[in-house]
Structure 1
Amino acid sequence: MQFGLFGSAAARRPNPGESAEFDSSKGFREFIEYNVEAEALGFRSTFVVEHHFTGYGQVSATINLLTWLGARTRTLRLGTAVIVLPWHNPVLLAEQAATLDLLSGGRLDFGIGKGYRYNEFAGFCVDMDEADARFNECLGVIIKAWTSNEPFSHHGRYWRFDNVVVEPPTAQRPHPPIWMGAGGESSVRQVAERGYNLLLGQYASPADVGRSITAYKAAIEAQGRRFDPTQVGVTRAFFVCDSVEEKEAALQRRLANRVRQLKLATRPDGTVHGGPDRATGDPDAVNRNSAMYGSPDDIAAKLDELRRVGVGYVLVNGGGSGGGERGRASLRRFACEVMPLFAEEPAARAAE
C-alpha cells in the first residue's frame, strides 16, 4: 500500500477586530513545511483542492501553490484534486499546468472535476447545468494543447481559439496522468474508459470503495489493459491521537466542517448536485466510520478494511489534527507507526 496526502491550506483574510498585521501567509507556509516533511517520511504524493469564495481561506490558486511546493521537494508527486474545468480558460490552464510539470521534472498528477458547490458557480456566473458540457469541451482543448506540436484551432460552444500553439510542452508524454473523481458505477466505468486514474471520496464506506474498484478494474481489463491498484486514490481523513477526548473533539470539528461545506454546495432549491461531501446515512455515523482517528492500532484496523477490498493507494487528509505542531506530530506517528504495517505486499496482492 502506498500513501500520499490530500487536502488544503488556509490563507484567510483577517477577521473583524484582528490585528492589521495578521499574517495570511502563515497557513500556506505551514502547508509547505508539512509537505516537505511528508516527502522525507516516505509519502508518495500530495493532492491539493481548488475552492473559491469560502470565507475561510481554502486554496484557490492550486497550480501556483504546487509550483512553490515543487521547488521545495524532489520526489513528491504534485496533484490537483481537483481543478474544476468549467471555470477555466483551457489554453491558459494547459500552459500553467505544463509549466508546473516542466519545472518539477515531470511530477504533475492532473486531477480534474466538474465542480459541485453552488456558491462557486454563482460567484463565477457559470450555470451549473452547463458543467458537463463545459468540462468536456475544456478537457478536449487541454488534451489537444498538450499533444499538438503544430498550431490548431478550436471553435466550440464556450471557447474559440484560432491558430494557436500552446507552450510550453509538458515534461510527461503524451501528457501528465489525468485523475478524475467518481462515485457511481457508470461514472467509474467512464473514467476507466477514458484511460484516466480514479479518485474516490473520503466519506465513502469500505464496501462502496470496494464496489468502485471492482467496476474500475473490470472496465480497465475489458480494454486489454493491466489494472494497477495505484491507479485508484482513496482519500481518508486521519489523526493519530491517544485520548478519547482528542478523538471526539476532532470528529466534531470534521462534522462541523462537512456541514459548512454542504451549505456552500447547496442550491437555492435545497439540493446538492454531486460532490465528495455527499454520503448516504446518518451524518454522524458516516463521519465516524470514514475518519481514521485514534491510536495507530485503530487506524491500522481501518486501513486493513480498505486493503481487503483492493485499495493500494491511500491519500490521507490530516486536517482533523487542527494543524500546527500537533498536525506534524500526527503525520510523523502515521509514517513511523502505521505505514510500515502496509508495505508493498498488500497492494501487489490486491492486484491479483
Structure 2
Amino acid sequence: MDIGLAIAVRNLPGKPQHLPSLYREFLAEAELAEQLGFDAVWVSEHHFAEDNWNSATLPMLAAVAARTERVRLGTYVLLLALHDPLRVAEDLTGIDLISNGRLDIAVGAGPMEVECKVFGIDKNEAFGRTYEALEFMQRCFSEDGPFTHEGKYYHYPNVCMRPRSVQQPHPPIWMAAMGPQSIQRAAQRGYHLASALHSPLWKTYAGQLEAAGRKRSDHRVMSGPLLVHLAPTRELAWDEAEQGMHWCVDFYNRRGWTAPLPPVGELRRTPDAGIYGIPFAVGTPQDVVRILGRYREEPLNQICLQFRAPGMEYACVERSLRMFAAEVMPEMRRWGAQA
C-alpha cells in the first residue's frame, strides 16, 4: 500500500504561528516525507477560513516540486469550479514540468457555500462546472492542434496549449467523491477515486468500473486524509495533538456537517473520535498500527495521512513522522489493495 502525506497549512485561532515560518515548516515536512519513504505529497485548498487554511494550492505544490526528486505530488483537493480551467491547466503543466512528470490532479466538486458566494459561483452549478472543466482540461493536455470549446459554463476559441505536460495524454486525474453520483461519474470517466469515506463507497466504485467496462486494476483508490500523531506515550500524543484536532472537527461542526463535540480534554476519551467517521490515529506506534489496521483489508491503493494539526509545533511533527517511518510504515507496506 502506498502512503501519502497530506498538507493543510492552518493556524490555530488563539495560538497563532508566524505564517511565513509555518509555510517553510510545511515545505520542510514535505522534504522529510520524501527522505523517509513516503510515496506522495498532497496539498489541499480552501478559501476565507478563519484559520488561514492555505488557498494558494498550486504555488505551494510548485514549491514542493522544486524541493523534491522522487515523491508524487498532487492536489487534494483542487476546487476546480472556483477557477478558470485554462489557467489551471497551464499552471498544472508547469508543475508537471518542474517535477519531471510527478503530478497527480485530485479534484473536488464541493466548495463551501461561502467560497462559491465570494467567487460569484452558483453552488448548484459546482458539480457541472467541475466535470466540464475536467473534460476541457484533458483536451488542453492532450490535443496537438487548435480546438474550440463551447460548453454550458466555459467558452474558449482556438485553444492550443503550449508547453505540454510531461505525462501524456494527461497527468493522472482523481475525483474526490462523497456520494454515489460522484462515484458513478468518476468510474464512467475513468478517474481514480479519492474518498474521505470508507468501505461501502470504495466497493461501489469497483462495481461502477465494471459496469462501465473498465478494469479495477487500472484504477486507484485513495483514502482520507486521516489525522495522525505519534509520541512515546499515548498521553503525550494526545496532549500535543488534541487541541488542533478538536479544532479540525469543530471547523466542520460549526458548518453543520458533523455532530457536536465533547470539550478539549474529553476528545481523547471519545471512541472513534474523528471526522466523517474517520478516526484520529493518535498514540504510540503500536496504537497507530492498531487504529490504521482497520484499513488493511480495504480495497485501497494509497492511504493519505496528515501529521500536523493546527497549532502543533514542528518538532513534534518531525518526531511523529520519524517514529511512523521507523515503526509503522514497514507494517503498512505489507498491506495490499484488495480488488
TM-score by length of 1: 0.84
Counterpart contact for 2:31–2:67, Cα < 8 Å: yes
Aligned to 1:346: 335
Aligned to 1:83: 78
Measure the CA separation in 2 of the matches of 1:67 and 1:37.
Answer: 16
Aligned to 1:188: 183
Amino acid at match of 2:137: I
**Residues 1:130 and 1:226: Cα distance change in structure 2 (over 3 Å):** closer
Aligned to 2:66: 71
Measure the CA separation in 1 of the matches of 2:29 and 2:156.
Answer: 40
Counterpart contact for 1:255–1:287, Cα < 8 Å: no
Matched, 1:210 2:189: no
Residue 306 of structure 1: which of 274, 284, 295 is its match?
A: 295
Counterpart contact for 1:11–1:25, Cα < 8 Å: no
Counterpart contact for 2:190–2:214, Cα < 8 Å: no
Measure the CA separation in 2 of the matches of 1:292 and 1:229.
Answer: 30
Residue 53 of structure 1: which of 37, 48, 57 is its match?
A: 48
Q: Which residues in structure 2 correspond to 1:153-164 (within 5 Å)?
A: 153-164=148-159
Aligned to 2:316: 326
Measure the CA separation in 1 of the matches of 2:9 and 2:219.
Answer: 25
Deviation at 1:230, TM superposition (A): 7.7
Matched, 1:3 2:10: no
Q: Which residues in structure 2 correspond to 1:102-181 (within 5 Å)?
A: 102-181=97-176
Map Cα deviations across residues 170-227 of structure 1 (whole Å, 9 max, x no partner). Answer: 11110000011112234323212211111121xx4xxxx1222222222334445442
TM-score by length of 2: 0.87
Identity of aligned residues (%): 31
Amino acid at match of 1:238: V
Aligned length: 326
Counterpart contact for 2:44–2:75, Cα < 8 Å: yes
Measure the CA separation in 1 of the matches of 2:259 and 2:248.
Answer: 17
Measure the CA separation in 2 of the matches of 1:230 and 1:117.
Answer: 28
Amino acid at match of 2:8: S
Amino acid at match of 1:327: V
Q: Which residues in structure 2 correspond to 1:224-239 (within 5 Å)?
A: 224-228=213-217, 231-235=220-224, 236-239=226-229
Measure the CA separation in 2 of the matches of 1:255 and 1:228.
Answer: 38
> Counterpart of 1:4 in 2: which secondary structure?
strand
Aligned to 1:287: 273
**Residues 1:286 and 1:182: Cα distance change in structure 2 (over 3 Å):** farther
Where does structure 2 lack aligned partners over 5 or more consecutive residues?
Answer: 263-269
Matched, 1:101 2:92: no
Aligned to 2:233: 243
Where does structure 1 lack aligned partners over 5 or more consecutive residues?
Answer: 267-271, 273-277
CA RMSD after TM alignment = 2.7
Task: Name whichever structure is richer in helix by fraction.
Answer: 1
Aligned to 1:92: 87
Measure the CA separation in 2 of the matches of 1:106 and 1:50.
Answer: 22
Measure the CA separation in 1 of the matches of 2:109 and 2:220.
Answer: 20
